[in-house]
Structure 1
Amino acid sequence: MNINATLFLQAVVFAILVWFTMKFVWPPITKALDERAQKIADGLAAADKAKSELATANKRVEAELSTSRNDTAVRLADAERRGQVIVEEAKAKAAEEASKIIAAAQVEAGQQTVKAREALREQVALLAVKGAEQILRKEVNAGVHADLLARLKTEL
């Protein structure tokens, strides 16, 4: 064999191999590489979009948290004011009830005093009658003594 023919034959085989690779092997590889590059680009775009959406969502969350904190503070202040009002109302009602109880106790004490005076008058009258009876052992007239006792009660 001749080196020129071998070289020529190798060049033809190489050309066929290059043509076959360019026609059948290279397009799927480039297509796969292009698809992969597109997926990577889409992923990066989605990541950027997600990052911006996350930042926006974080801003909204911070705004909502701030609003919630303010609302909570306002509600707590209102609750404290309401609690103070309720406590003041309860104190006023308690003072009113206390004054009613004191007034009722004073009325009852007055009634008890009147009853005690009446009982004391009767006891004093009985003691006076007994004393007079012992002194006057001679003659006791119940009618006259009852009249005297009645006068004595009114004087006491």
Structure 2
Amino acid sequence: MSITATLIIQIIVLLILVGVTMKYIWPPIAAALDERARKVAEGLSAADKARSELASANKRIEAELGAARNDAAQRLAAAERLALQIVEEAKTKASDEAAKIVAQAQAEAQQESAKARDALRDQVAALAVKGAEQILRREVSPAVHAELLNRLQTEL
């Protein structure tokens, strides 16, 4: 056989191989490649969609966190105002109670002072009566009177 015949037979076999490959083998391979490309594209679009959903979820979370922080700050401010109000009310009540106690103590002190004055008057009156009795019992003389008055003065 000659080289030309061998070359022609090889070309024919190659063409048959290419034809069979193009008809039976290439379409499933192309379909598999197209399917793989479609799946990759779907995966990329799903990833983009998930990324955008994550971004929107993060925005919602940040908004809710901001609202929660504002709510907490408002509640804290309200609690502080309430605490200050309670402290002021307690101070007012304490000062009112202190004023009442001071007024009561002053009234008691005045009563005690009045009682002491009354008791002192009674004692002075008793001493005066006693002195007058002693003067009347003794004879009337200026020296005795002076002595009695001096004694009375020392007793007072």
Name 1:92's counterpart in structure 2: 92
Q: Structure 1 residues 109, 2: closer, same or farther in 2, change over 3 A?
A: same
**Shift of residue 72, structure 1, vs aligned partner:** 3.3
**What code does the residue aligned with 1:52 have?**
S
What one-letter code is carried by the residue in structure 1 that aligns with 2:29?
Answer: I
C-alpha distance in structure 1 between counterparts of 2:137 and 2:25, whole Å: 158
TM-score normalised by structure 1 residue count: 0.64
Match of 2:80 in 1: 80
Q: 1:111 to 1:16 in 2, by over 3 A?
A: same
**Identical positions, percent:** 67
Q: What per-residue deviation string (whole Å, max 9, x for no partner) do you get for residues 9-42 of structure 1?
A: 2123213322343345433432332222112111
Does residue 75 of structure 2 align to residue 110 of structure 1? no
Residue matched to 1:141: none
Which sits farther off after the overlay, 20-29 or 42-51? 20-29
2:49 aligned with 1:41, yes or no?
Answer: no
Counting only pairs closer than 5 Å after superposition, residues 125-136 of structure 1 correspond to structure 2 as none
Partner SS, residue 74 of structure 1: helix
SS state at 1:70 partner = helix
Larger displacement relative to structure 2 (30-39 or 71-80): 71-80
After TM superposition, give the deviation of residue 63 of structure 1 in Å.
2.7
Q: Quote the offset at 1:99 in angstroms.
A: 1.4
RMSD over aligned CA atoms reads 3.3
Shift of 1:93: 0.8
- Residue by residue over 1:90-140, the C-alpha shift from the partner in whole angstroms, topping out at 9 and shown as x without a partner, is 1211121111211221232233324434554566567678878998998xx
Mapped to 2, the partners of 1:50 and 1:22 lie a distance apart of 40
What is the alpha-carbon distance in structure 2 between the residues aligned to residue 5 and residue 113 of structure 1? 154
1:137/1:42 Cα in 2 relative to 1: closer, same or farther (>3 Å)?
Answer: farther
Q: Structure 1 regions of 5+ residues with no counterpart?
A: 139-156
Spell out, residue by residue over 1:52-71, the C-alpha distance to the aligned partner (whole angstroms, 9 max, x if none): 22332233233323333433
Structure 2 match to 1:154: none
The code of the aligned residue for 1:35 comes to: E
